[in-house]
Amino acid sequence: MLHPPFDAPLETAYDGEQGPPGAPPAGEGREAGGEPGDGAGGLAQEDPSAAGAARGSGPRGTAGRLARAALLGKRAGGPVELLGVLLLVAGTVVGSIVVLGLGWLTAYWSPRLSRRVAQWATFGMPALVFGGYGLWLLARSGGWGGAPLEEGEAGAAFDDHWPWLLRTAALASAAFLLWRARRRAPEKAAG
């Protein structure tokens, strides 16, 4: 659900309505004789800046709210998936193909993710990275996307770029695995 900015006054936050959609219009819901803000049983008009300060609209309040939302609640992934992400990122930083292989093996073995998602993390994301690079090399040999490659230069370009392609594929797999592991777990039907 979309919410108005915290520092926007209530009158402008909902296109001229007084309050959120579905709330009674201004004037309804007041006790007899009550005027807004007089404390005699009416709906009190609040100062938008005070309301924003009370809700923690500053950068620290927003960051804290996002951190709590990310850490709380039941998630689809678990420690095995996060270990796979950690191994893939560590293998990228260190440059070890063994650590990258362990990261992809952990992602494939992931017990909480579906087989299809685990296969996408292990094979699909690297295939997209290498396929995109192959398409770029093909375009370069045809004269598009940069200076045209001469005969035999595509192999030399691949030899120069494959370590960075492997690292990019590992980061793409890690990002995909983290995204799928941090999503909310599907609700089970009561029955």
Q: What is the pTM assigned to this prediction?
A: 0.56
Residue 29 has pLDDT above 50, yes or no: no
Range ranked top by mean pLDDT from 6-10, 56-60, 106-110, 150-154: 106-110
HEC string of 42-65 equals CCCCCCHHHHHHHHCCCHHHHHHH
Which residues partner with 75 through β-bridges? 184
User: In Å, how far from its chain's centre is CA 171?
Assistant: 15
Residue 187 has pLDDT above 70, yes or no: no
In this structure, of 87-91, 110-114, 119-123, 142-146, the range with the lowest mean pLDDT score is 142-146
Q: What is the pLDDT of residues 64-104, one digit of tens each?
A: 665 665 555 555 567 888 899 999 999 999 999 999 999 99
Report the C-alpha gap between 88 and 86 in whole angstroms. Answer: 6
Residue 28 has pLDDT above 60, yes or no: no
Report the C-alpha gap between 73 and 186 in whole angstroms. Answer: 11
Of 76, 104, 78, the closest CA to residue 89 belongs to 104
The whole-number pLDDT of residue 31 equals: 47
Which residues partner with 184 through β-bridges? 75
